[in-house]
């Protein structure tokens, strides 16, 4: 049976390697040389695959007009998983690239069936976190899907002509009105910056989680079908692995016991970290003897993704675990300390943004 | 088997009476008393049925805020059939009602698969004809579906949540992405004036041809489902019979030999009228003996719809035909004379509008 990736589902993709073969996603290794700065997300293969990212980097390196578009579904509180995209965007912004972020509020409302007010609240929370994490608000465009301008919406209407129900079902598994409109809206999100009215950026990069690839496949097909009529080009994309929740499954705000929410209080974070799934052995004795299994450990994942940016330090941590020189309790405490520091700084900036109402002034908020 | 009305098909609905029973359309007779002015379209049952038109008239008669929304698909040249809607709008405008007209260019592009430029051209032609027929351009709003503003589009996105694929298939027979987006766009056309941003008109009337009722049924369901969340109310509607083409089938610009196009030259109109299907008998002798059959006659239909507004004159015409006192040749010549006068005046106004470019100045034209 073929694997149908479901961007609306909650699950962890176990074997990312399958994606290379089945859907034609390229391994990230092939572009490492072209990266102007080698961020650890790439060198550690947290960003594991891509489509045409090499071409996009060539355009960047040639000094052509390039842009980044990504988004998020405002269906819950912002958590560590979202930080991955923020980190990627911050990195791309540091390269001088124009960054645009869409709040997929139409999708959260129509597909996830949340209330409009809730969706808008979550959206604003997310935007504040993005800025608190270091995105430059004066250089980042944010918009809500329900609050863009024409001709952005014209693309949705036009796209509907050149995709059949059967093609839609092949990509998404089903073709309900809600999902059709949501998917065509996403395609418009990804492609609209190519229109003159939105800057005419012909080289678009979409950094997302691996589950979002179906949207990219749809969008690339649509770009091909509108190449002549509207001059659209295929977007490039790269894909990161999901950060796992502390239970070892995909992190999700709907399972908040196992997710680090960015506004969690220190004592809550402490509790969650202390309960986290590790790669430890049943007894301390065994662990000293056999060593731990960092590959299985959600705490080691935190080190890899966010807590230890220095490769040497990470390697040391890995080896000490492997050799049984450090037990899980001490390791967790160390991770907790680093995480709390990170979160503290972040939450302070978040609170400043909340008080200054900068986001409310900067972003066009839907009135219903 | 149940009758599925197909607004995208080309056909004549034979038995309008079936619609009363099957879909709950009310006979127009029930509202005649409430009409402030009794236009012959109503008294002659050319407008044969309605939904909640009585309630809308009550609101009008109470002096409440009421509005009219109708539209057309810009998929061909404007013909006599379109004049029916113009005539209805002119009548409603004479009652002091706010009139808004949508050019369904998104639908013509996505469902009928015409080119964007062609669709925009046909749209402008249609708008010119509407004004030439007597709609007051300073009191009529025109817009293209691909060129409206937010939050009009937000409705499309929100509507997609509360309609299933099965419901869609039950109404339209199929649920392709093109038709889903087109139908939700139509629902937004009909309902968006109820939003504050578009005037907050809670009493909307939609005058259309009988084939458009599926859109009304969808839209009424959506209004119910968004009554609480958005304060939407069901639109009222009334339905006219199609004017038949000169071959006796539904008039359509795609069968232009049998349609009177509003820009046809007099000699072309003459040729078409002279070839028209009548209710005449095989020989002049038989006709003098048995009389003609005006019920079958497309020329008599022209008299009824447009050429003879005076009921006494129409009755006289009917009786002379019935008694075999007038043969088809002479009758056609008489109709042609009246039709050419009508068209001449109309075309003069149309040309003025073309030269003055008033429409181009008045209407926001999509740039692609």
Alpha-carbon Rg of chain B, whole angstroms? Answer: 21
Residues of B in contact with A157 (CB under 8 A): 106, 109-110, 145-146, 181-182, 185
Per-residue model confidence (pLDDT) at position B112: 95
Helices (H), A192-327: 213-225, 227-230, 266-274, 284-290, 298-302, 311-322
B186 reaches A (C-beta below 8 A): no
| Domains of chain B with bracketed CATH | 1-368 (3.40.50.620)
Name the residue among B106, B148, B165 with its Cβ closest to that of A177.
B165
B163 reaches A (C-beta below 8 A): yes
Q: Say whether A164 and B147 touch across the interface (CB within 8 A).
A: no
Residue A20 class from Cβ within 10 Å (0-12 exposed, 13-18 middle, 19+ buried)? middle
Per-residue model confidence (pLDDT) at position A7: 52
Average pLDDT, rounded, for chain B? 94
pLDDT at B9 over 70: no
Per-residue model confidence (pLDDT) at position A253: 87
- Check: CB of residue A193 under 8 Å from CB of residue A199: yes
Q: How far is CA B137 from CA A250, A251, B21, B102, B326, in A?
A: 58, 58, 39, 14, 42
Q: Say whether B106 and A168 touch across the interface (CB within 8 A).
A: no
Residues of B in contact with A106 (CB under 8 A): 154, 157-158
Sign of CA dihedral B129, B133, B137, B139: negative
CA separation for the pair B143, B216 (Å, rounded): 20
- pLDDT tens, position by position, B218-272: 999 999 999 999 999 999 999 999 899 999 998 998 899 999 999 999 999 999 9
Nearest CA in chain A to B168: A177
Give the confidence band of B19 by pLDDT, cuts at 50, 70, 90: confident
pLDDT at A120 over 70: yes
Mean pLDDT of A192-213: 96
Per-residue model confidence (pLDDT) at position B5: 52
Neighbours of A120 (CB within 10 A): 23
Name the residue among B111, B116, B161 with its Cβ closest to that of A178.
B161
**Secondary structure of residue B70 in the 3-state scheme:** strand
CA separation for the pair A150, B333 (Å, rounded): 51
Q: Return all residues near A209 (Cβ < 8 A) that are at least 6 apart.
A: A81, A84, A85, A239, A240, A242
Mean pLDDT of B42-62: 95
Say which residue the tokens 């009824």 belong to: B304
Give the confidence band of B15 by pLDDT, cuts at 50, 70, 90: low
Give the confidence band of B11 by pLDDT, cuts at 50, 70, 90: very low
A185 reaches B (C-beta below 8 A): yes
Q: Strands A98-103 and A66-72, how do they pair? A: parallel
Q: Which of residues 200-229 of A touch B (CB under 8 A)?
A: 229
Mean pLDDT of A5-13: 46
- pLDDT tens, position by position, A168-185: 999 999 999 999 999 999
Mean pLDDT of B71-100: 96
B336 reaches A (C-beta below 8 A): no
% of chain B with per-residue pLDDT over 90: 90
% of chain B with per-residue pLDDT over 70: 96
Per-residue model confidence (pLDDT) at position A28: 92
The interface predicted TM-score of the complex, written ipTM, equals 0.93
Q: Say whether B165 and A176 touch across the interface (CB within 8 A).
A: yes
Give the confidence band of A362 by pLDDT, cuts at 50, 70, 90: confident
Mean pLDDT of A105-124: 97
Chain B: nearest CA to A229, how far in angstroms? 9
Per-residue model confidence (pLDDT) at position B6: 52
Name the residue among A110, A116, A148 with its Cβ closest to that of B150.
A148
Name the residue among A106, A151, A181 with its Cβ closest to that of B181.
A181
pLDDT at A15 over 50: yes
Residues of A in contact with B222 (CB under 8 A): none
Q: Say whether A158 and B106 touch across the interface (CB within 8 A).
A: yes
Give the confidence band of B2 by pLDDT, cuts at 50, 70, 90: very low
A55 reaches B (C-beta below 8 A): no
Per-residue model confidence (pLDDT) at position A17: 73
Per-residue model confidence (pLDDT) at position B147: 98
Q: How far is CA A352 from CA A143, A265, A310, A357, in A?
A: 21, 17, 29, 8
CA separation for the pair B331, B342 (Å, rounded): 17
pLDDT at A10 over 60: no
% of chain A with per-residue pLDDT over 90: 90
pLDDT at A268 over 80: yes
Mean pLDDT of B97-119: 97
Nearest CA in chain B to A146: B154
Q: Say whether A180 and B181 touch across the interface (CB within 8 A).
A: yes
Residues of B in contact with A367 (CB under 8 A): 151
Name the residue among A110, A148, A153 with its Cβ closest to that of B158.
A110
Residues of A in contact with B180 (CB under 8 A): 160, 177, 180-181
pLDDT at B1 over 50: no
Q: Which of residues 91-150 of B touch A (CB under 8 A)?
A: 106, 109-111, 113, 116, 145-150
Q: How far is CA A214 from CA A4, A53, A112, A161, A221, in A?
A: 8, 17, 17, 19, 11
Name the residue among B111, B174, B177 with its Cβ closest to that of A180.
B177
Sign of CA dihedral B295, B300, B302, B304: negative
Q: How much is the pTM? A: 0.93
pLDDT at A13 over 60: no
A298 reaches B (C-beta below 8 A): no
Mean pLDDT of B359-366: 94
Extract the tokens encoding B136.
């007051």
A161 reaches B (C-beta below 8 A): yes
A151 reaches B (C-beta below 8 A): yes
- pLDDT tens, position by position, A187-201: 999 999 999 999 999
Q: How far is CA A101 from CA A89, A123, A281, in A?
A: 9, 11, 43
Mean pLDDT of B34-38: 95
């Amino acid at each position: 049976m073929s694997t149908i990736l479901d961007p609306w589902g909650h699950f962890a993709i176990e074997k990312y390697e399958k994606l290379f073969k089945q859907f034609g996603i390229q391994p990230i290794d092939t572009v490492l040389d072209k990266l102007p700065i080698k961020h650890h997300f790439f060198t550690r293969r947290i960003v594991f695959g891509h489509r045409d990212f090499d071409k996009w980097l060539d355009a960047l390196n040639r000094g052509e007009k390039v842009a980044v578009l990504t988004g998020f579904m405002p269906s819950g509180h912002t958590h560590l998983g979202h930080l991955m995209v923020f980190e990627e965007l911050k990195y791309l912004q540091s390269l001088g690239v124009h960054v645009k972020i869409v709040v997929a509020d139409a999708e959260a409302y129509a597909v996830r069936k949340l209330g409009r007010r809730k969706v808008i609240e979550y959206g604003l929370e997310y935007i504040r976190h993005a800025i608190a994490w270091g995105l430059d608000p004066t250089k980042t465009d944010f918009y809500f899907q329900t609050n863009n301008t024409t001709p952005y919406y014209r693309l949705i209407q036009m796209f509907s002509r050149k995709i059949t129900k059967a093609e839609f079902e092949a990509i998404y598994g089903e073709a309900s009105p809600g999902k059709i409109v949501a998917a065509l809206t996403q395609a418009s999100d990804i492609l609209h910056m190519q229109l003159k009215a939105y800057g005419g950026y012909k080289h678009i990069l979409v950094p997302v989680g691996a589950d979002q690839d179906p949207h990219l496949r749809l969008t690339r097909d649509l770009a091909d079908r509108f190449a002549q009529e509207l001059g659209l080009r295929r977007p490039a994309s790269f894909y990161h692995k999901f950060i796992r929740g502390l239970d070892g499954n995909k992190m999700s705000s709907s399972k908040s016991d196992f997710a680090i929410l960015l506004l969690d209080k220190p004592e809550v974070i402490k509790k969650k970290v202390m309960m986290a799934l590790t790669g430890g052995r049943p007894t301390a004795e065994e662990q000293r003897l056999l060593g731990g299994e960092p590959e299985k450990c959600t705490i080691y994942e935190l080190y890899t993704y966010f807590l230890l940016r220095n490769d040497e330090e990470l390697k040391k941590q890995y080896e000490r675990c492997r050799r049984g020189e450090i037990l899980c309790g001490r390791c967790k405490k160390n991770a907790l300390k680093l995480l709390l520091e990170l979160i503290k700084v972040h939450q302070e900036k978040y609170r400043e943004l909340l008080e200054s109402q900068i986001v409310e002034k900067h972003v066009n908020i839907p009135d219903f």
